[in-house]
Structure formats: C-alpha cells, structure tokens
Structure 1
C-alpha cells in the first residue's frame, strides 16, 4: 500500500473490500427471509428429466451462524490489522515489525554464542574451527549469492580467496566493506582519451602492463594516453586501494579480459556495488564473518 500515489487507490481498495463483505451479509439476510412453499412430500414443485424433483432442504442453522461469525470476524480483523488501503489498523501491526521482532529474538538467543569471540583478534577467530563453522553459514546465507559458495566470485564479482583486494585486505578493511558496503565507479573516459583509435591503443597498453598478449606498437602509442587513467590507477598502473581502483599489472580481470572488454570499460565506464550488511547482521556476526573472509585468503590454519 505504500506505493499508492494518491488517496484514490486507497479508497478504491477499501471500498471494494468493504463492499464485498457487506454484499455477503446482505445476500445472507435476503436468503434467510425468503420462504419457499413445499408440498407434503417436502418438494418445491420443480421437476427435471421427468422424475427428478427438487427437495426443500435449507442450509442448517449452525452453518448460517458460522457465516455470520465470519463476517463479524472480517470487520474486527480489518479494524485491528491493515487491510483497508492505507489504513494501518488499530494494533499498528506490520510485516516489517513482525520480521524485525523475530530477528531481534534470534539475535538475543545467539548473542552468547558470539560473545566469546568479542575479545579475540581476527587472526585468532580465523583459526578457531567453531568460529569458522559459524562464519561459513553466515557466508553461505549472505555472500555466496554473489561471490559463489567457494568465494572465487565470477565476472564482476570479486574473488575473495586470493590476495587481490580492491579496497584493502586487512581485517579492518574487510570489516568496513562488510559493514558499510562499497560503491566502485569507473567513469567513461573515452572523451579524455581521444579518438576510437586512441582508446584501442590505450587498451593494448593496459594489456601490456600485466604481460598479457598485446600489440606492442599500439601499446607504445597508447602509453601517453594512460595519463588519463593514472589519477586513479597510478602511473605504474598498480591501482589505489583508497579509491578502490584495481591493479592493472596483475593478471586478474574483474570485468573481463581482452581489448574488447577494456575498450568497453573505457567507453562506457562501470559501477559496481557491494551492499552494506550492517542492517542485516549484528556487529558480532560481522566480526566472525570478517575473520572467515580474511581467513580464506590468508589460511591461518595452514600455518600451524
């Protein structure tokens, strides 16, 4: 109902609802007043197929009263709960409130489970098998949809099992990413680079930075155009975690590899978003999830 743009639709829905209930009550009242004359054998006089006669068997009284109770209940329900357009009901019940109450109850019951990890360092939590079992469940329920169950990601979704971090891979960086989310923006740069040929030459130079197969002549022509990219990626192309600018000198391509993919990135830009989890997870849950994500690329258990 929050999507209504005017009072008309609220009134329309409320009117249809009330009209339906009132119509049922009116139908019940009218039928209860109608008396049907019957013969001595309790038939109404209607005959079909020569000998098929209609009996006068009215609905039992208990059924009629159930119908009345249902109508009364409908009016009481609509007065107490939302059901008439934008009317919120006298009890103020909402689905969001019900959901939040259940979440708060579950978090309160689970709080002692997470409490023992509060004073532990991320590295120590990552080495704790019980914590990692919890972290795995948190990851599967909240992160695997984008990053995959093995955390290796896919096109446009970062691999969390390597050491390539757009915004930094320290425990504090990972915790901030999970808590606040991230928005990565690569603006369209074609106008700053020059002609379509300049863009293609720049793409070849970007390929050369990682030692990928490239056209050396075009790459040499595109090197000068890289100044348009250096503000974010640095003159050496190694990126800047403070800005979320990727390292162009490794062999990791988040949005696709090759000249065509790089040209598309330069021409069209790209916006990627990691949604904040603070509204879904408690700080204690984020603490354990941070250790789980950090541990996937640092493997603390393997060092022991």
Structure 2
C-alpha cells in the first residue's frame, strides 16, 4: 500500500485532471473549425434518416459554446481554490475535516445553553428532568443503540443496561467513567490452570449451581475445589468484582450464553470484550456535558445502582 502514497500518484492525478480539461477545450476548438466536405447546396451534410430527416452542417450555437467555456473556467478556478489536483491543498486551505469541525463547533455553541442548564445537576437529579432524559435518549440512539439496542436491553455479548447486573458498577460515577474512558474486560483461558477436560466440565457444573441453574450436583461438588482458581477474579462466592469487570456468576445473567457448553467455551478459550471510549479526550466524540446527560439516561433505565 505504500506505493499509493508515493508522490508520483499525486502528480499523476493532477496531470490527468488538467489534461482532461485541456482536451475538452481542444475538442471544442476542433469541432468549431472542421467543416464537412462536399456539403450539399441546402447546407446539409448529405446524411438523411427516415426519408426526410437531414443533418445540417451548422456551427455549434454560440450560447452553448459559451456555457461550455464557462464550465471549463469554473473547473480551473475551483481546482485553484479547492483540493483536487493531487496533493495541492487549494489556495483557500479548505478541508473536509475543517468543515466538519466548524459545523460541530457551531452546533455545540447552539446547544451550550441547554447542556449548561443540566451540567450543574447531579445525575439522579438530571434523571428526573424530562428534557434531560429526552436529550440523553437521542444521544443514546445515535451513539450506543448500535450495540446495546434501541431499548438498551443489549444482546449476546452486549450488556443489558436495564437490569441490575453491572460488570463495572452501576453507580452514576461508574457509568460515567465507563462511557467516558471505555472498558476492556479480559477472561483468560483457564483450562490449563484447572487441570484436564474433566476438571473444566466439573467447574462449569459448579458455576451453573451458583445461579441455581440445572446442574449435575456430583460434578458441581468436584468442581467447587477447582473454582479457587477462578475466585481470584470472581470472588470465593462467585459474585464477581466490579473493579476488574469480573461478572457475578450467581445472578443467572449470561452475557455470552448459558449452559455447560457456553461456560466450558469461556474457560477453554477465554474472551475479551471492549466498550470503546466515547469521551472527546479519550478518542471519542462526546463532550463531558453530553456524557453527563447520557449517564442520566442510562442510569434512569431502571438498573442503575442507588435508585
């Protein structure tokens, strides 16, 4: 791919563009100079269609030629002012990025009074304001619904934001941190640490027993002794650790699927989940004021802690 960033391609594109414009001028000039030989007395070319439809040997209309020349002049002026000739940036220095940033700045200025109205409120207080929730919902639909669904109930691999199960904590501050900075949860492959395939199956049965799911009680009892390897993250009681993003294994909420096979796949293969950062200072595009209202909306969906 490095070949396509070489300076040659910039020159090539600029040259092709200019040659094409010049070729249009040449074509216009030639078409105006060339005369049909052996034209008939009635000033036709001698070509006849449908018995009486004759092609006349008239020059191009002046108004048409004038418009054609104007389009060429416009093209040259445009290429001088704006980017279009390879790496030539244009005399105005216009860029799509600059246009986007200017539009975003204009939009931010227009809505600044609205965000200022709620920025001084706590998240629980903002969650009580219908206007704040309306703005938060729009932010959610534009930035979060692609993964968590328009109803915020998530899907396999994407957390449900309306229940009480929170990998990293469901307090307003925890939710705001998650949205702003993003999260990366990693479950390493643990089969080797547990022992053999039989040990993996036993631990899977024990994990099922923690949530009251149907399980093999004998295998679960055998897996309990091996669960100590998992307790470093999930806790000895299996209730997880929000500081590590380790899920609670006792609440019957299964982010990546329920059942022995799903749990064994997690133990054998591990899993890495990432919530991308949305904060403008962390690679995202949302301002602190927007994240404040987005947090209020997510927290208000019913699963936020402290309600």
TM over 0.5: yes
Where does structure 2 lack aligned partners over 5 or more consecutive residues?
Answer: none
The CA distance in 1 between the partners of 2:299 and 2:186, in whole Å, is: 24
Where does structure 1 lack aligned partners over 5 or more consecutive residues?
Answer: none
Q: Conserved in 2, the CA contact under 8 Å of 1:2 and 1:86?
A: no
SS at match of 1:85: coil
2:299 equivalent in structure 1: 294
Tell me the TM-score normalised to structure 2 length.
Answer: 0.89
Deviations 1:276-296 (A, max 9, x none): 222322211111111111111
1:16 equivalent in structure 2: 16
The CA distance in 1 between the partners of 2:113 and 2:53, in whole Å, is: 74
What value does the CA root-mean-square deviation take over the aligned residues?
2.5
1:210 equivalent in structure 2: 211
The CA distance in 2 between the partners of 1:26 and 1:232, in whole Å, is: 76
The CA distance in 1 between the partners of 2:268 and 2:17, in whole Å, is: 53
2:28 equivalent in structure 1: 28
Q: Structure 1 residues 115, 264: CA separation in 2 closer, same or farther (over 3 Å shift)?
A: same
Q: Deviation of residue 59 (structure 1)? A: 1.7
1:198 equivalent in structure 2: 199
Alignment of 1:229-240 (within 5 A): 229-240=230-241
Deviations 1:224-270 (A, max 9, x none): 33233222212221111111111111110011101111111122221
1:68 equivalent in structure 2: 69
Q: Conserved in 2, the CA contact under 8 Å of 1:4 and 1:10?
A: no
SS at match of 2:184: strand
SS at match of 1:297: coil
When the two structures are aligned, how many residues end up with a matched partner?
Answer: 302
2:168 equivalent in structure 1: 167
Q: Conserved in 2, the CA contact under 8 Å of 1:185 and 1:270?
A: yes
Q: Conserved in 1, the CA contact under 8 Å of 2:165 and 2:303?
A: no
The CA distance in 1 between the partners of 2:171 and 2:93, in whole Å, is: 45
Q: Structure 1 residues 15, 124: CA separation in 2 closer, same or farther (over 3 Å shift)?
A: same
1:132 equivalent in structure 2: 133
SS at match of 1:98: helix
Q: Structure 1 residues 2, 81: CA separation in 2 closer, same or farther (over 3 Å shift)?
A: farther
Deviations 1:33-72 (A, max 9, x none): 2233543312123345665432112221121121112112
Q: Deviation of residue 108 (structure 1)? A: 0.6
